Amino acid sequence: MPTFVTVAKNSEIAEQSAKCVEVKGKRIALFKLAGEFYAIDDTCTHRGGPLSEGIVQGEEVECPWHGAHYNIKTGEVTSPPAPKGVTKYNVRVTAEDLEIEI
C-alpha cells in the first residue's frame, strides 16, 4: 500500500526549479511551479539523463543530455528523443514539509 514519505522542506525548492531526492531507492525530481509542487521520476527514458538538472520552461522540463521534454505535472513526454513518459508521484505539503506518495 502506498504511503507518504517526507523528502524535503518546501523552502528548499525555488519557484520554477527542481531538486532531486532519493526515496526507497528511486531518484525523484521535485519541482515548484506557481507555488505548487510536483514530482516525477528523475531519470529520462531516452538515455537516463537527470531531469532535476534540466531547464524548466512553463510546465515542461528539458532533459539536459539530449533535449527530450516532459510535462512536469503529468510525466508525459512532449518532445523526442524520449520514447515514453516517466512516473508521476502525488505530493503533499504538511506545514513546511514535502511528502511524496510511494
Instruction: List, for residues 7-64, the tens digit of each pLDDT value.
Output: 999 999 999 999 999 999 999 999 999 999 999 999 999 999 999 999 999 999 999 9
Q: Taking the CA atoms of 64, 27, 31 and 79 in sequence, report the sign of the dihedral they define.
A: positive
The count of C-alpha atoms lying within 13 angstroms of the C-alpha of 2, restricted to the half-sphere facing its C-beta, is 8
Q: Identify the CATH number of the domain defined by range 4-101.
A: 2.102.10.10
Residues 65-95: tens digit of each pLDDT: 999 999 999 999 999 999 999 999 999 999 8
Identify the pLDDT of residue 2: 85
User: Domain-by-domain residue ranges, the chain?
Assistant: 4-101
